[in-house]
Amino acid sequence: MSDDNRGPGEALPRAEQRWTASAFVLVAMTIPFLLPARYAAGDAWLLPTVEGIVLLTLIVVDPGRIDRPGRWVRALSIGLVVAIAAGAAWAAGRLVWDLLHGNPQTEAADQLLVAGALVWLQTVIAFAFLYWELDGGGAVNRHLHPAEHPDVAFPQQLEPRLAAPDWRPVFFDYLYLALTNATAFSPTDVMPLSRRAKLAMASQSLLSIVILSLVVANAVNLLD
């Protein structure tokens, strides 16, 4: 499905800017401080500090647009995604445990709804970063070496007439994918093609169903 048919001297389209993804790293770093302390993996500052250090390192070694290849840059990007996903997984697991076994912090409807919404948002951001790094080997590889068979297919890739020339998905497109998959519990207009993409989307759908159903059911019981 690659559209990279340029001649030897023909320039590539401009690479993706880093600021959008960086802004949502900051959002992911903020959420643990808005949640009860028990929903943070270790101290509330631990994972946000790691994420902040990795983000700053990436900005220094690959500033502006995301276009610098290299094993260490790739490793830093994957490490950042792992840290964000670890925080989301811990918070989601703790919330589900509390809802199933009871905890004073889930016995007030307003506090439960706020905590549930923040944990759900945290998982959406984590899966957005997962899809962004998973598809075609990450933003740098998608820019320099567009995959003939991507992991997910956007409408603009399935029907190039719908997009501007040289269209490439950027972080916001993967955030949209994560959001729609978490609300519809299934693919909408973005289709998973590889098995690993199908596994990731299925996992997110199941996790989103569990979080939303348990939070809503418990909140309704508390309001009765």
Helices 71-101 and 109-134 cross at an angle (nearest 10°) of 150
CB 128, CB 20: distance < 8 Å: no
Contact 28, 44 (CB under 8 A): no
Helix (H, G, I), strand (E, B) or coil at 68: coil
- Per-residue confidence (pLDDT) for residue 36, from 0 to 100: 87
pLDDT for 9: 47
pLDDT of 11? 61
- Residue 17, SS3 per DSSP: strand
pTM of the model: 0.90
Q: Note whether 143 and 15 are within 8 A (CB).
A: yes
| Number of residues written out for the chain | 224
In whole angstroms, what is the distance from residue 92 CA to residue 128 CA?
Answer: 16
Whole-angstrom distance, CA of residue 165 vs CA of residue 181: 27
Written as tens digits, the pLDDT of the chain (224 aa) is 544 455 444 566 788 889 999 999 999 999 999 998 888 887 889 999 999 999 999 999 988 888 888 889 999 999 999 999 999 999 999 999 888 887 766 677 878 888 999 999 999 999 999 999 999 999 998 888 888 889 999 999 888 888 888 889 999 999 999 999 999 988 889 999 999 999 999 999 999 999 999 888 877 777 66
Element (H, E) at 192: strand 191-192
pLDDT at 203: 96
Q: What are the pLDDT digits (tens) for 128-165?
A: 999 999 999 999 988 888 888 899 999 998 888 888 88
pLDDT on residue 104: 67
**d(Cα 80, Cα 223) in Å, to the nearest integer?**
39
Residues 161-179, buried b or exposed e (16+ Cβ, 10 A)?
eeeeeeebbbbebbbbbbb
User: In the prediction, which pLDDT does 31 show?
Assistant: 95
CA distances 90 to 190, 194, 218, Å, are: 27, 27, 20
